[in-house]
Amino acid sequence: MSSALSAELRPSLFASFLMRRAGVVGIIALGLLANVSLSAAAQNPAKGPASEMNSGSSPDDPGPLASDISSDLKPKAIQAVVEKVASWQLKEAEPTFSRLWTYAALYDGLLAASKTTGDPKFHDAILKYSEEQKWMLIDNRFPHADDQAIGKAYMALYLEDPKNARKPERMANTKEIMDRLVARPDDPAKLLWWWCDALYMAPPVLARTYLATGDKRYLDSMDHEWWQTSARLYSPQDHLYFRDERYLTQKQANGKSLYWSRGNGWVMGGLVKVLEIMPRNYPGRAKYIEQFRQMAEEVKSIQGKDGLWRSGLLDPDAYELPEVSGSAFFTYAIAYGINEHILDRKTYLPVVERSWKGMLQHVYADGRLGSIQPVDAQPGKFKPSSSHVYGVGGFLMAGYEMNRLAGGKH
């Protein structure tokens, strides 16, 4: 399906939810919501549905796997595979660049790839596109976090300049929308970030707006909303996030709770991007560190023999293939934790060594990265060749942290 229809509005999941809650009214609401989503896609100036459908569909014959890459934990080896994968993805995706959330994760990865490799073409492609878009976010369904995700790239490009040479237009629209978000009336009964992967979308944008302005309101607002979401979706027993409240009671075939790989990977990625900005003396920082460590320990304990994780985390036998986008974000987060001395190196280095090696088994000769689940809101099945831009973004960020871990310049 086209991901222009937000995953949370997929009829196979949402229809039953609405019908249970509101009977016939639910059916009517479903139709209205679907129309709203389709209308938003049609009005979106960021190229709309076609850009999502072209973001890495799966060919029947992607060719042979790469034979010219090495899984050695050495800077040259890591930089070479990052260059290979990023170059293929940039060539494939740049004609359909979009402001949609899927591409936002890719932009984060491409900016990281330039830092890893020293090759400016990845960074410059994002800068060029941002300038073409006049640094504007999508703003037709505020306060939806998906539409704020590209703000991470805008703010990174703003902050990269020396303080006295920063270009205000790069952050102007993002700051305007973050101001509206901070001023939004609090409604504890209605979660702002009601699906777990939203914690990668919006919180890092608020954190970077704090960094740019020094205004603690952005950080405090993020902190408040993060723990509202955590209170509803995070399991203190399993140390994982449910994708949203629809999954609180759902079980896998083996009877265990249903936790989605990519959703939890994006939460850990969000934790990284918050922690790298949050001051060490911020009153709530210890809670983020504790949640990060809890999730890392759980993820470590369920790592597959091939070094990767399945799309349903607690029932790996139910899924034939590993899921690379979730695995990439887990690798990114754990490697960051080692680099920043949040996680014990001796304990966690073998985890990322195995996961990095495992992901390289899904790189094709042309640089395509496979085994990435298409847009969804739950575990699912897909082809070995399935490649999507957000998964590549996670892989490139993992490569950045693995390069740091190996002692490479960045």
The answer to whether residues 69 and 39 belong to one domain is: no
pLDDT at 410: 54
- Asked if residues 41 and 5 have their Cβ atoms less than 8 Å apart, the reply is yes
Q: What is the 3-state secondary structure (H, E, C) of the chain?
A: CCCCCCHHHCHHHHHHHHHHHHHHHHHHHHHHHHHHHHHHHHHCCCCCHHHHHCCCCCCCCCCCECCCCCCCCCHHHHHHHHHHHHHHHHHHHHHHCCCCHHHHHHHHHHHHHHHHHCCCHHHHHHHHHHHHCCCCCCCCCCCCHHHHCCHHHHHHHHHCCCHHHCCCHHHHHHHHHHHHHHHCCCCCCCCCCCCCCHHHHCHHHHHHHHHHHCCHHHHHHHHHHHHHHHHHHEECCCCEECCCHHHCCCECCCCCECCEHHHHHHHHHHHHHHHCCCCCCCCCHHHHHHHHHHHHHHHHHCCCCCCCCCCECCCHHHCCCCCHHHHHHHHHHHHHHHHCCCCCHHHHHHHHHHHHHHHHCCEECCCCECCCCCCCCCCCCCCCCCCCHHHHHHHHHHHHHHHHHCCCCC
Residue 354 counted as domain residue: yes
Q: pTM score, two decimals?
A: 0.87
Looking at the 3D structure of the chain, how many domains does it have? 2
CATH at 75:
1.50.10.10
199 and 225 in a common domain: yes
**Domain for residue 351, yes or no?**
yes
pLDDT at 65: 97
Within a domain: 27 = yes
Write out the chain's pLDDT in tens, 410 residues: 333 333 333 333 433 333 333 433 343 333 333 333 333 333 333 333 333 333 444 467 889 999 999 999 999 999 999 999 999 999 999 999 999 999 999 999 999 999 999 999 999 999 999 999 999 999 999 999 999 999 999 999 999 999 999 999 999 999 999 999 999 998 878 999 999 999 999 999 999 999 999 999 999 999 999 999 999 999 999 999 999 999 999 999 999 999 999 999 999 999 999 999 999 999 999 999 999 999 999 999 999 999 999 999 999 999 999 999 999 999 999 999 999 999 999 999 999 999 999 999 999 999 999 999 999 999 999 999 999 999 999 999 999 999 999 997 65
- Residue 237: half-sphere exposure toward Cβ, Cα within 13 Å: 5
Q: Range of 341's domain?
A: 56-405
Q: Is 60 a catalytic residue?
A: no
The answer to whether residues 28 and 68 belong to one domain is no
Which one from 146, 197, 223, 315 is the annotated catalytic residue?
A: 197
Position 51 in a domain: no
268 and 344 fall within a common domain: yes
Per-residue pLDDT, 328: 98
